[in-house]
A and B are shown apart, each in its own frame.
Chain A
Amino acid sequence: DFVQLTAHIKPGVVSSGLRKALEMTDNMKVMPPWISIMQDIGKPPSYKNLVIPGLDTEYSNTGYREKGNKQYND
């Protein structure tokens, strides 16, 4: 069901399915288009205190992190 289907989904991790829908390359080193918009308009209000790869650190498709390295939502 949906709970199971979404349990693994975490902010900052973009699946190959979503990449395909966005017509992005499958290269996981390429960041999604909204990261550069975040550089202009600021971080999402609810994720202000998280470390966002591509903004706060080098981009990686591994998820937003709490300061001190803990993965958000784990």
Chain B
Amino acid sequence: MASAFKKVAETERNHRATLYFGNLDSQVTEVLMYELFIQFAPIRSLNMPKDRVLKTHQGFGFVEFRSVEDADYVMDILRGIRLYGKTLKLKKTDLLKSGKGTS
């Protein structure tokens, strides 16, 4: 799992196997999200962008799995789950891309 937290080049990322996750409580960490997602599939990469000054995450991140099937399963099984009382938001990033380019 040594590669899980390396920054993945945008061109190498499989967008169809990548999920955006958001609405995170400030207590949520990358390690916690790694532990949650690995319950359902092996993880290729995971990152939560940090504020440059404060070094805190900004309430969202991205996780890439090995396959589209893994990503779809994670979307299904975690629908409505709450972390520290906040409902986790999950979206396919290929849909974000084809939308208004919010990724």
Contacts and interface: CB of A to CB of B under 8 A. Distances in A.
B22 to A, nearest CB: 15
Contacts, number: 79
Interface in A1-49: 1-3, 5-7, 9-12, 14-15, 17-18, 21-23, 32-34, 37-38, 41, 44-47
A6, A11, A21, most chain B CB atoms within 10 A: A21
Interface residue tally of chain B, by bracket? 20 to 34
Interface residues of A, number: 27
A18 B35 contact: yes
A37 B39 CA distance: 13
A22 B4 contact: no
B39 A34 contact: yes
A13 to B, nearest CB: 9
B34 A9 contact: yes
Given A21-B28, A38-B77, A41-B77, A14 B70 contact: no
Contacts of B1: 3, 6-7
Interface string B74-94: 001110011111000000000
Contacts of B78: 34
Interface string B60-72: 0000011101100
